[in-house]
Amino acid sequence: PRAQVVLHPDFQVGEIDRRLFGSFVEHLGRAVYTGIYEPGHATADEHGFRRDVADLTRELGVSVVRYPGGNFVSNYVWEDGVGPRSERKPFIDLAWRTIEPNDIGTDEFLQWAEREGIEPMMAVNLGTRGVAAAAALVEYCNGEAGSRWADLRIANGRVKPYGVRLWCLGNEMDGPWQIGHKDAESYGRLAAEAGKAMKLVDPSIELVVCGSSSMQMDTFGSWERTVLEHTYDIVDHLSMHAYYEELDGDRASFLGSGTAMDRFIRRVVASADAVGAERRSDKQITISFDEWNVWYLASRFPGEKNLPLQRDAPRIIEDVYSGLDAVVVGDLLVTLLNHADRIPVACLAQLVNVIAPIMTEPGGASWRQPTFHPFAETARLARGAALDLRVTAPTTSTRQHGDVPIVTAAATWDQGADGDGDVALFLVNRSSEPVEVDIAHPGLTLALTGGVQLVADHEPAVPGPEHAARVIDRCLSSVAAPDAGQDGARTTLTLAPESWTA
Ligand code: AHR
């Protein structure tokens, strides 16, 4: 098969916001304890945070980290996680049925993020709590001396306000599994009031209101409409969450996940714009895609209700990834780049141990999963503006998503100070045959450099660093700069079967 890609630096989707390369740390399983934080570990810094994990986080290129949940936030009392450690009490986190020791809370997380040069994205509890607790947390984080909660922060040892810019108004409030789950009317009203109070504390913050937990929710669409009817004037972003997995050996549908994500984005944008149109509003609501990844949720996760009550950072949702999963992650990033105009924030869920690109052993090693690589390469190479490409490719029919193109692509253009800019091109071949891609780039003479390529495997994923290293060895390789067929304005590339190439 053959495909064509046309790119021109004048045709752009929009500037890429660096916050597109975010991730997520929830009090869930071993994301915090023995994930980012493990006092006594050989690499632990003076605050007890693992240096090896922080170094991998930096290498991953993560810009923003969302915290403290996820489902966890909907029963979290943030006040119990600040102040002297000796006075903090453990509680039963009902979301993941785990005893939370409260050793790490708002201050420890925000100071870790600050030391690592990561922008924090905080979530408030709109499950079991409400307006007052949300406004108080904004004041605790961002307030100047001279008021109750800001002074408490100062008494706890932190004088300078943290200046947290991004705030989530709860988490997945449409989901029956959520503690304090609400219907769209009740959530919309509460989010509007909480958001109003939070912005009265600090008008410079940006608010994310909960969209649907997935496109499969029965209330999808009507949820977005009702919630935005209540919150349109107060919020900035609408959240999207999506997880993809290979079900019943249906590889073609799994490889087509990027198209499913693309359709989901278009539908959510249409729903948000419909509310704006009815209000004759010039304001545009953007998307915070604050949970996305491959997660074997239906096939491997027993469900929250079936988790035994546990303590000491249990191993929950530690999915092990294959080369195939990494190709799909690369494809999902292509989709996000192609919507850079409407998606300023996105978070790979999650960062460490829980459906994560980084894994650790308590007291032991840390390592990269195969999915680490497409994320790190995309975050490193995608600079400047996302280009509005024309991609022509044959389609293939899939059980779950109908017809999907066999080739997807995204490109970015970074003009550079001297006009001698950089183009980065990301290509996915979803078919089981090699595909010749003819890339036309009129107006650009490219001095081509090489890149990297990931090919999907057929091996079952096995936990542990040795296996991860073997998968990466087998699936990830560098590709030489193409020379054949290059005539200044045209380049030809051959994409390996089931591969992602940068
Ligand atoms: O990322 C894991 C969980 O997935 C989050 O806690 C929740 O928001 C979503 O259902």
Given this model, what pLDDT does residue 302 score? 82
Which residues 6+ apart lie within 8 Å of 423 measured at CB?
7, 9, 387, 411, 412, 413, 414, 441, 444, 446
Q: Beta strand pairing status for 286-294 and 345-348?
A: parallel
Complex ipTM value: 0.99
How many other CB atoms are found less than 10 A from the CB of residue 91? 16
- The CATH code of the domain at 2-128+163-387 is 3.20.20.80
How much distance in Å is there from the Cα of 200 to the middle of ligand 1? Answer: 29
Beta strands in 393-486 (DSSP E): 395-398, 402-405, 407-414, 422-429, 435-440, 451-455, 476-479
Q: Beta strand pairing status for 395-398 and 402-405?
A: antiparallel
Please tell me which residue in 38, 139, 172, 377 is annotated as part of the active site.
Answer: 172
Amino acid letter for position 118: I
291 catalytic? Reply is yes
Beta bridge partners of 65: 23, 120
Please tell me which residue in 224, 245, 291, 377 is annotated as part of the active site.
Answer: 291
Q: Is the peptide bond before 400 cis (omega within 30 degrees of 0)?
A: no
Given this model, what pLDDT does residue 108 score? 98
451/408 Cα distance (integer angstroms): 17
Beta strands in 126-277 (DSSP E): 166-169, 206-209, 237-244
- Comparing CA positions, the residue from 337, 345, 342 lying closest to residue 391 is 337
210/223 Cα distance (integer angstroms): 9
- C-alpha distances (whole Å) from 382 to each of 17, 90, 376 are 10, 42, 10
* Dihedral over alpha carbons 140, 143, 147, 149 (to 10 degrees): 0
218/221 Cα distance (integer angstroms): 9
420/414 Cα distance (integer angstroms): 9
CA 365 to chain centre: 24
18/210 Cα distance (integer angstroms): 22
**Ligand 1-lining residues (CB < 6 angstroms):** 26, 69-71, 171-172, 291, 349-350
Q: Beta strand pairing status for 385-387 and 91-93?
A: unpaired
Q: Which of 26, 212, 351 to mutate to test the pocket of ligand 1 (most atoms within 8 A of CB)?
A: 26
What ranges do the domains of the chain cover?
2-128+163-387
Question: What tens-digit pLDDT sequence spans the chain (502 residues)?
Answer: 999 999 999 999 999 999 999 999 999 999 999 999 999 999 999 999 999 999 999 999 999 999 999 999 999 999 999 999 999 999 999 999 999 999 999 999 999 999 999 999 999 999 999 999 999 999 999 999 999 999 999 999 999 999 999 999 999 999 999 999 999 999 999 999 999 999 999 999 999 999 999 999 999 999 999 999 999 999 999 999 999 999 999 999 999 999 999 999 999 999 999 999 999 999 999 999 999 999 999 888 888 888 999 999 999 999 999 999 999 999 999 999 999 999 999 999 999 999 999 999 999 999 999 999 999 999 999 999 999 999 999 999 999 999 999 999 999 999 887 778 899 999 999 999 999 999 999 878 888 888 999 999 998 889 999 999 999 999 999 998 876 555 678 888 999 999 999 9
What is the token pair recorded at 274? 């419909």
CA 46 to chain centre: 29
Q: Which of 67, 100, 172, 301 to mutate to test the pocket of ligand 1 (most atoms within 8 A of CB)?
A: 172
Given this model, what pLDDT does residue 278 score? 97
How much distance in Å is there from the Cα of 153 to the middle of ligand 1? Answer: 29
CA 434 to chain centre: 30
What is the token pair recorded at 349? 């869920």
Phi, psi of 470 (to 5 degrees): -65, -40
What is the token pair recorded at 330? 């690369």
172 catalytic? Reply is yes
Does this model's pTM top 0.90?
yes
How much distance in Å is there from the Cα of 347 to the middle of ligand 1? Answer: 12
